[in-house]
């Protein structure tokens, strides 16, 4: 406005100002209208369930589905859940962490190869990364039951080369659970990493080499920092769902590999809604805290 009043011919200055005001108003309404479906969706399927989950977590645990629950603000549900299930919570995070690290170790070379070395095979390799999604998560995990089975080729081979003992086995071990997690979440690591690496100008790598950086130094100083957004996105997309997963432990593990997801599932199934809810909220809060710490440490706040 102050700029407009400085212009000598007042009427001329006023006209565009009015125009701008009207345009801004229309744009404003359009924005809210476009926001509406998403906002409704979020309210219905995120805010309402979360509020319901939080309130359920504070119900009196003496109630049941048959007799009904009473809202007593029973925060002891949380202390109870944490003291009863902290081993499973910890185990979930350890498994998820190992699986995430394994995904990085497997996914980074794969994404790098697709981005820089694949040539005309690039699209085919990307399809191959995504292809497993054409079958259900459950079926793919069941397939691993077979692959890791006691009488199958892999175990026989490992026994023969004495990596496993004569009666050694893979299925129903923590190894099997982490393998399943790694397998199932690998594409979520590869795709964001690929997206980051694909944008990386190969001339930057040449410039690094030209400026006395050995291949290792080029990787540390140029490739890795520029792939950081993809790496952070990939680790989040792997770690978060892996922490809450229960299918892999259910199908590939044993009672001592139970993760917090299995406990929540069983508590809901047993009708103990308050404990199940408080355990869910605890898991969610713990993940949020871990992710915040991680993202701050990685220096990629703009992702949030």
Partner 1 sequence: MSDDLTLTSVTKTFGSFTAVDDLDLTVPQGSFFALLGPSGCGKTTTLRMVAGLEEPSAGTITLGERDITRLKPYRRPVNTVFQSYALFPHLTIEQNVAFGLHRQGRKKVDAEVARMLELVELGGMGGRRPAQLSGGQQQRVALARALINEPDVLLLDEPLGALDLKLRRQMQIELKRIQVEVGLTFVHVTHDQEEAMTMADTVAVMNQGRIEQMGAPEDLYEAPATTFVANFLGQSNLVPGKVVRGDAEVLELDVEGTRLTADVARARVRDGAVWVGVRPEKVYLSHAGEEAGDDDNRLHDGIVSDVSFVGVSTQYLVRMPWGQELTVFEQNTGSRDRFRPDDKVDLHWRADHTFLLDASQDATAGVDRVGE
Q: Which residues bind partner 1 (CB under 8 A)?
A: 201, 203-204, 206-214, 217, 221-222, 225-226
CA distance 248 to 291: 22
* Of residues 106 and 295, the one with the C-beta less far from partner 1: 295
* Of residues 141 and 196, the one with the C-beta less far from partner 1: 196
Q: b or e along 250-269 (b: 16 or more beta carbons within 10 Å of the residue's beta carbon)? A: bbbbeeebbbbbbbbbebee
Shortest reach from residue 139's CB to partner 1, in Å:
42
Residues 6+ apart with CB under 8 A from 24: none
Shortest reach from residue 80's CB to partner 1, in Å:
47
What is 151-189 written as a DSSP string?
Answer: TSHHHHHHHHTTSS-TT---TTSHHHHHHHHHHHHHHHH
Shortest reach from residue 121's CB to partner 1, in Å:
19
The answer to whether the beta carbons of residues 107 and 101 sit under 8 Å apart is no
* Of residues 81 and 227, the one with the C-beta less far from partner 1: 227
* Of residues 147 and 228, the one with the C-beta less far from partner 1: 228
Burial of 236 (0-12, 13-18, 19+ CB in 10 A): buried
* Of residues 211 and 270, the one with the C-beta less far from partner 1: 211
3-state helix, strand, coil in the chain (%, to 5): 80, 0, 20
Shortest reach from residue 209's CB to partner 1, in Å:
4
Q: Collapsing DSSP states into helix, strand and coil, what is residue 8? A: coil
Shortest reach from residue 219's CB to partner 1, in Å:
13
* Of residues 221 and 256, the one with the C-beta less far from partner 1: 221
Radius of gyration of the chain (CA): 27
For residue 300, the 8-state DSSP code is -
Shortest reach from residue 191's CB to partner 1, in Å:
22
Distance of CA 300 to the CA centre of its chain: 16
* Of residues 204 and 293, the one with the C-beta less far from partner 1: 204
Shortest reach from residue 36's CB to partner 1, in Å:
35
Angle (deg, nearest 10), helices 122-130 and 174-198: 140
Angle (deg, nearest 10), helices 224-244 and 273-298: 170
CA distance 198 to 211: 22
Shortest reach from residue 92's CB to partner 1, in Å:
34
* Of residues 167 and 210, the one with the C-beta less far from partner 1: 210
């Amino acid at each position: 406005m102050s700029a407009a009043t400085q212009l000598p011919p007042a009427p001329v200055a006023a006209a565009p100002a009015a125009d701008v005001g009207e345009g801004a108003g229309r744009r404003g309404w359009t924005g809210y209208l476009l926001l509406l479906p998403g906002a409704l969706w979020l309210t219905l399927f995120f805010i309402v369930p979360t509020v319901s989950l939080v309130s359920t977590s504070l119900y009196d645990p003496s109630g049941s589905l048959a007799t009904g629950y009473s809202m007593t603000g029973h925060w002891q549900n949380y202390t109870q859940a944490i003291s009863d299930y902290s081993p499973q919570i910890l185990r979930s995070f350890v498994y998820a962490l190992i699986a995430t690290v394994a995904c990085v170790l497997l996914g980074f070379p794969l994404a790098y190869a697709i981005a820089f070395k694949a040539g005309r095979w690039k699209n085919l390799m990307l399809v191959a990364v995504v292809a497993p999604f054409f079958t259900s998560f459950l079926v793919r995990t069941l397939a691993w039951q077979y692959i890791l089975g006691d009488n199958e080729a892999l175990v026989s081979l490992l026994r023969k080369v004495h990596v496993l003992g004569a009666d050694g086995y893979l299925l129903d071990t923590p190894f099997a659970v982490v393998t399943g997690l790694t397998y199932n979440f690998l594409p979520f690591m590869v795709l964001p990493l690929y997206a980051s690496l694909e944008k990386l100008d190969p001339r930057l790598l040449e410039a690094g080499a030209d400026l006395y950086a050995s291949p290792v130094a080029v990787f540390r100083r140029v490739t890795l920092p520029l792939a950081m957004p993809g790496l952070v996105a990939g680790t989040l997309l792997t770690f978060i769902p892996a922490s809450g997963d229960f299918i892999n432990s259910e199908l590939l593990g044993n009672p001592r590999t139970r993760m917090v997801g299995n406990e929540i599932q069983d508590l809901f199934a047993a009708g103990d809604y308050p404990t199940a809810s408080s355990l869910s909220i605890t898991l969610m809060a713990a993940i949020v805290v871990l992710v915040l710490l991680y993202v701050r440490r990685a220096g990629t706040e703009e992702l949030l």
